[in-house]
Amino acid sequence: MTEPLHTVRFPGETDELRRARDELLEAEIDLRRRTEAVAAQRRSLPLGGAVPSDYGFEESGGEAGVTRTVRLSELFEDGKDTLVLYSFMFLPGDSGPLERACPACTSIIDALDGQAPHLTQLINLAVAAKVPIEQFREHAGTRGWRNIRLLSAANTTYNRDYHTETPEGSQRPIATVLVRREGKVHHFWSSELAFAPADQGQNPRHVDFMWPLWNVLDLTPEGRGSGWSPRLDYNS
């Protein structure tokens, strides 16, 4: 008989359930090992190419209505040589001249905003959108974001250079990691699963690692739901 993995038992648990749970637990342990191995493989990547430009992003200043240009190199604080930069999508609006914020990206940043004070103890973190910074800030205000650094990439070629938009100009939600080495900024990693073939019935799941919504739903009998996706407003 196989030795049990642990001795914890839950109320009303049958032997049949315990056996099934142990099989699943073995799979979960294997997944944990694979996750650790992939993370180690990612960390060992060779240094990527130097960025082609010290992009000038727009950022809100200290006063209302005041904006300033911040260079990519300036997003790296002293003692922090890694920048995680998430590209946030705004989608064509149903009416009117302005795009609407992507509900999926919004769901991600809803969670990331709360984690930002922790993450920025170790790394630099920012979110960039291809809309004017005032429009991005207005959306942030409706969500109550207080901690995440918001940038506009509207006047740069960053989105095109790093494939966070299609050749036709549609936006892509891509997470990019950039590093500073010897005073130069280099590409380190991007969520390239967005560009790779997905298994049948799956979306690319390229940003699931930073999206608690799906990770929690994966624990439930209902799973991710059939065709369900987050919305900006559930009251209408």
For 103-136, the pLDDT digits (tens) are: 999 999 999 999 999 999 999 999 999 999 999 9
Residue 62 pLDDT class (50, 70, 90 cuts): low
Name the H helices within the chain.
15-43, 103-119, 133-143, 158-161, 212-217
10 Å CB burial of residue 106 (0-12, 13-18, 19+) is buried
Output the pLDDT for position 66. 85
What SS3 state is found at 143? helix
10 Å CB burial of residue 191 (0-12, 13-18, 19+) is buried
**pTM for the whole structure:** 0.93
Residue 206 pLDDT exceeds 60: yes
All domains of the chain, ordered by start, with CATH? 56-192 (3.40.30.10)
Distance CA 37, CA 31 (A): 10
Distance CA 119, CA 114 (A): 10
Output the pLDDT for position 201. 81
